[in-house]
Amino acid sequence: MTRPATRPAPAPLRGHPAPRGLREEFRETLRERVLETASAAASEQGWGQVRMSDLARRSGVSRSAIHREFGDKEAVADALVAHESDRVIAEVGQALIDAPDWRAGLTAALRTTMAARENHPLIETVLTAAHDDLSLLPQLTTGSSAIIARARLLLATWLRGHLPRLPRPLLDDAADVLVRAALSHLAAPDTDRELTVARLQRLAVRLLDPR
């Protein structure tokens, strides 16, 4: 009795692209590594002194891969400022979520914002022009409208959930005023951080609960 012929195992596919999920995960990992490296390098020596070859060497990502993902150095700077501001906004959002009520939430969010310079060396470097370097200020200035818009949307949405009886335009206006005031104090801080937080919190209460 003859055995049925067995089919040979299929040869592995060469050059076949990875599944989309894996590609996106790899891309996000690459971006995060490059941006973390860029943040550290800019904080240590000033962005003007950082070269693309430095980022490649320190991050372990090839220079060609960095160019494919970001483009030129200016595009990396844009992504870096957006990345750092997104991290701060995420921290503020978590502070709001963890708070037991809207007053405590605003206080926690303000404290988180005022601590951003201390917790994010890149922000301190840019705002103080450390290393006599102003090269990231254009990205921060041109991107400020987008940063304000994201922070304002976060705060306004959170306020609507906690103060549903108040008119939406009032909540939107209050969020805009508080975000702009907080960022102004972040850029030019007072020596007493807690006093700043208390003042802005009182302003919020007067806007939202003027009884």
Please state the domain extents for the chain.
80-208
Question: What length does the chain have?
Answer: 211
Does residue 1 sit in helix, strand or coil?
A: coil
Q: Which residue type is seen at 202?
A: R
With a pLDDT cut of 70, the percent of the chain lying above it is 90
Quick check: 13 pLDDT over 70? no
Give the pLDDT mean for 61-84: 93
Does residue 211 sit in helix, strand or coil?
A: coil
pTM tops 0.75: yes
Q: What's the mean pLDDT when you consider all of the chain?
A: 88
Q: Distances in Å between the alpha carbon of 36 and those of 30, 132, 143?
A: 10, 22, 19
Contact 61, 106 (CB under 8 A): no
pLDDT at 118: 92
Quick check: 6 pLDDT over 50? no
pLDDT at 18: 54
Contact 186, 180 (CB under 8 A): no
pLDDT at 20: 67
Packing angle, helices 73-98 and 63-70, rounded to 10: 70
Query: What CATH number labels 80-208?
Result: 1.10.357.10
Q: What separation, in Å, do the N-terminal and C-terminal C-alpha atoms of the chain show? A: 97
- Within 99-209, residue ranges assigned H as helices are 102-114, 116-119, 121-128, 137-142, 144-162, 168-187, 193-208
Using the Cα atoms of residue 95, residue 97, residue 100 and residue 104 in order, give the sign of their dihedral: positive
